[in-house]
């Protein structure tokens, strides 16, 4: 059984953004199991965070951009490819600008930085999304398909209508060793004829021959290439980074012909819909060699169970359930939350009563999912042992864990805790009446 991974300690890297030209410091921090990867814009008020998933992709022009509210991070694919290449599941990526450093145009500097911090195994099993049937996307000669496969394999054909660049093909089983040796060093590239147009669009402000391969009108700087097929390998690098936004590593064979960020993201959205439709986010083998399903619910699923709506629906996602005994939900805390306008506006802190309410709503999803409670409401009838251990502020992500202690026909009792960055922020025993 493969376990989740993070890094052992905090580590920092700095450089210039490819398109924005901004000086950037990027700080990688360990994160607890099941929290995923998120960027934190520490240069913005409230330090807003953006979860690295397909729902937060807002642009795919010359790179993949994530955003939530006013916070954006451009060109995330090289960082995410490095994280995927090292099989890291949980990480906090603090950044003081709107684009990671381009460094040398590859993922290797991030691989080396994260490896220096030390990749460590965590105490939760890793989840995989297994492709069960072929899925195809095609448009104007560009094609992307995913087929069943026991591992993670990528086959890519690159073909430009350019006199200097012949068709290139590469196919790799993506493992940590193969990614580092065969893919991670491949650099981003562009055509000389594109440079002026990109500059007019306000892009590649940080671009140079030190961080990109420029293909001339009639020739390629062959003597400077790191691989004979460096261009198609960089396309595989980009694809690995984009597919990391699924939020769960896949088991499948990806076949791409001339695909780029737009089609990559379109395919990941398609795969996410398949995951949500089946509500199977992962299948892993337990110690008893029994297959166990982990169920995931998005906001649409939650609204089918809970009566709450904005601004009082305080659960963003259910990431794990264990039958009718345990459930784990997430609540992302944004500065745009309506309660911050009046609750300590100079120093926003989430009201304690709403922390408890968030825990209660996660519990409600579990309790009201039981067939005997269909069509009922779960009302509070008691709160015992409530303790607030630390303040919750914008940029935090609440991981709410609920365990059922007792359920009868008309009442239920649960133990709940809200965790931020691996530390308990709030805990309480909650009692409900089913009406």
Give the model confidence (pLDDT) of 140-154 as tens digits.
Answer: 889 999 999 999 999
* 138 beta partners: 143
Which domains are delineated in the chain?
Answer: 3-285 (3.30.1700.10), 297-434 (3.10.129.10)
CB 84, CB 241: distance < 8 Å: yes
Minimum mean pLDDT range among 5-14, 63-72, 93-102, 196-205: 196-205
Average the pLDDT over 91-116 and give the result.
93
What was the pLDDT predicted at 83?
Answer: 98
Q: Is the pLDDT of residue 382 over 80?
A: yes
Q: Which two tokens stand for residue 85?
A: 């290449």
Q: Which two tokens stand for residue 214?
A: 């420029």
Cα Dmax for the chain: 78
What was the pLDDT predicted at 273?
Answer: 87
Q: Residues with catalytic annotation?
A: 261, 343
What was the pLDDT predicted at 284?
Answer: 35
**What one-character-per-residue DSSP string does 278-332 give?**
HTEEEEEE-TTS-EEEEE-B-HHHHHTT----TTS----EEEEEETTTEEEEEEE
Percent of the chain predicted with pLDDT > 70: 87
pLDDT band at 339, cuts 50/70/90?
confident
Rounded CA-CA distance 409/300 in Å is 27
DSSP H helices in 318-370: 352-368
Rounded CA-CA distance 355/44 in Å is 24
Q: Which residue has the higher pLDDT, 148 or 160?
A: 148
Q: Is the pLDDT of residue 351 over 70?
A: yes
Rounded CA-CA distance 215/206 in Å is 18
- Helices and strands counted in the chain (H then E): 8, 26
What was the pLDDT predicted at 376?
Answer: 82
The pTM (predicted TM-score) of the whole model is: 0.64
Based on its alpha-carbon atoms, the radius of gyration of the chain, rounded to whole angstroms, reads: 23
pLDDT, the chain, mean = 86
Q: Is the pLDDT of residue 311 over 90?
A: no
33: CB partners within 8 A, 6+ apart: 4, 6, 89, 90, 122, 123, 124
* Selection from 235, 234, 241 nearest residue 85 by Cα: 241
What was the pLDDT predicted at 283?
Answer: 34
Note the pLDDT tens digit of each residue in 245-285: 999 999 999 999 999 999 999 999 999 988 877 553 333 33
Provide the terminal-to-terminal Cα distance of the chain, rounded to the nearest Å: 42
């Amino acid at each position: 059984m493969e376990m989740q991974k993070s890094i052992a300690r905090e580590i920092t890297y700095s450089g210039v953004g490819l398109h924005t030209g901004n000086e950037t410091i990027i700080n990688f921090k360990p994160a607890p199991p099941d929290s995923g990867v998120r960027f934190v814009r520490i240069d913005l008020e409230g330090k807003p965070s953006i979860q690295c998933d397909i729902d937060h992709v807002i642009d795919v022009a010359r790179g993949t951009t994530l955003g939530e509210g006013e916070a954006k991070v451009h060109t995330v694919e090289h960082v995410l490819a490095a994280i995927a290449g090292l099989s890291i599941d949980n990480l906090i990526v603090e950044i003081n600008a709107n684009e990671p450093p381009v460094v040398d145009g590859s993922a290797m500097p991030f691989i080396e930085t994260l490896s220096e911090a030390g990749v460590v195994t965590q105490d939760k099993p890793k989840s995989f999304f297994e492709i069960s049937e072929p899925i195809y996307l095609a448009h104007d000669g560009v094609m992307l398909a995913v087929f069943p496969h026991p591992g993670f394999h990528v086959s890519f054909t690159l073909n430009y209508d350019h006199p200097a660049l012949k068709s290139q093909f590469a196919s790799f089983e993506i493992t940590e060793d193969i990614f580092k040796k065969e893919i991670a060093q491949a650099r981003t590239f562009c055509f000389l004829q594109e440079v002026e147009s990109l500059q007019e669009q306000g892009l590649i402000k940080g671009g140079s021959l030190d961080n990109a391969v420029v293909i001339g009108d009639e020739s390629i700087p062959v003597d400077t290439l790191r691989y004979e097929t460096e261009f198609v390998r960089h396309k595989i690098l980009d694809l690995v980074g984009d597919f990391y936004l699924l939020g769960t590593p896949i088991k499948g064979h990806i076949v791409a012909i001339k695909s780029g960020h737009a089609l990559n993201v379109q395919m990941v959205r398609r795969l996410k819909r398949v995951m949500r439709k089946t509500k199977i986010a992962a299948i892993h083998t337990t110690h008893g060699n029994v297959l166990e399903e982990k169920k995931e619910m998005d906001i649409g699923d939650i609204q089918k169970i809970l009566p709450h709506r904005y601004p009082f629906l305080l659960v963003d996602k259910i990431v794990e359930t264990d039958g009718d005994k345990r459930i784990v939900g997430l609540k992302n805390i944004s500065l745009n939350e309506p309660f911050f306008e009046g609750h300590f506006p100079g120093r926003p802190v989430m009201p304690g009563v709403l922390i408890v309410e968030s825990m209660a709503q996660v519990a409600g999803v579990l309790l009201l999912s039981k067939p005997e409670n269909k069509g009922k409401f779960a009302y509070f009838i008691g709160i015992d042992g409530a303790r607030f251990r630390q303040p919750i502020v914008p940029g935090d992500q609440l991981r709410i864990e609920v365990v059922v202690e007792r359920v009868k026909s008309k009442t239920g009792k649960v133990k709940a805790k809200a965790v931020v960055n691996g530390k308990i922020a709030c805990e309480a025993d909650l009692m409900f009446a089913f009406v």
